[in-house]
Amino acid sequence: MTSLRPWNGIPIHDAGEPLVPLVDLVRLEPHPYLSLGAPYGDQVCPFRLRRGVMARLARAQECLRRRQSNYQLAVFDAWRPVAVQAFMVNYAIRQECEARGLDPDGSGPEWEAVVLEVGRFWAPPNMHPAAPPPHSTGAAVDLTLADAAGQPLQMGGAIDAIGPVSEPDHYALAAREEPDSAAALWHGRRCLLAAVMQAVGFVQHPNEWWHFSYGDQLWAWRRGLLLAHYGRYGAPALEG
């Protein structure tokens, strides 16, 4: 798996904000990675974000309610230690290998193709402070839309699915060709989620309809900025 992303060259000057718990938002529980035994250690609350990011997420919730009063945001995952990132990368590789009938502990071109494909969606668990996985910064959040009762809506693909179905515009062509189809409904919901998040300053991961961040290197890269505001939580700050 490629060790660096295009955005990892962007300098980080960490704002020094603490992680704060998510408030007034639906949490999709039990937490999926905790349920798998991911090694959170003593830091057992993944539903946390940097204070400034949390404030923007609350604004996104308000924006959504103005546009669609019976919808709300539902958070799948937020802050993620690098040890959890490593655990989940290995888990995703094993799951995808098994789905393709490959030996998860194998090698060769087919196995390497799985690793590359998983790498489009899972950042390398890099411990270097200049190349933090986005979720380890406390600036990235995985989320979806839910109804008024807090039940997640169908979005045309599961969070963490490996493959083209996870790309934000996967259903765009089908939606244009068949405006009354399920694909059009899913595309509209993905667009709505992206619109409310982007309205308050978040950027979307290019390969994932559910992943948004504010202030990390990915955010700076997508906005053409020269400095990121959040590095790996607890790591030394890096100034450009």
Q: Which residues are catalytic?
A: 208
Beta-strand ranges (E) seen in 180-220 are 203-204, 211-213
By residue count, the chain amounts to 240
Distance of CA 74 to the CA centre of its chain: 13
From residue 32, give the alpha-carbon distance in Å to each of 38, 63, 70, 169: 9, 27, 25, 25
For 46, residues 6+ apart whose C-beta sits below 8 A from its C-beta are 31, 33, 34, 40, 77, 78, 79, 80, 84
The rounded distance, in Å, linking the Cα atoms of 240 and 238 is: 7
The rounded distance, in Å, linking the Cα atoms of 227 and 240 is: 7
> Going by DSSP bridges, is the β-strand pair 19-21/48-50 parallel, antiparallel, or unpaired?
antiparallel
